[in-house]
Amino acid sequence: MVFAGVIIPLKDWPLQALVMIFPTRWAMIALNSSLGVHNQTTGKDSLIGTDPSYHGTLFSIYSQSDATQRILLAWACLGGIVLLLLITIGLALKAKDVRK
């Protein structure tokens, strides 16, 4: 939860770059954007630079297409992380399966 930006707002770019590899970050972005949460209630967490993490539509300035694009970005990143982990696990198992 620390790297998801829920407890500590991620405002600095080095910290934002570090947490891009954690799936909890992308899951919270997708969840909060789909529920309609916006950054004014969550400590003004940023995704990249000063772009707010959550683009919810409930009492917000973001349109439905903005929220949909943010959810699709989060899903794509989650899918990329899953694919990367599957490839890594496959390569590790293949390397371990070397017969003598």
pLDDT tens string 22-76: 888 888 888 877 877 766 566 666 677 667 666 766 666 777 788 788 889 889 9
Q: Do 37 and 56 contact (CB within 8 A), yes or no?
A: yes
User: 32-42 pLDDT, tens per residue?
Assistant: 778 777 665 66
Q: How many domains does the chain have?
A: 1
Across the chain, the runs of DSSP E, i.e. the strands, are 46-48, 51-52
**Domain span at 24:** 2-96
The structure's pTM equals 0.75
pLDDT at residue 85, as a whole number = 95
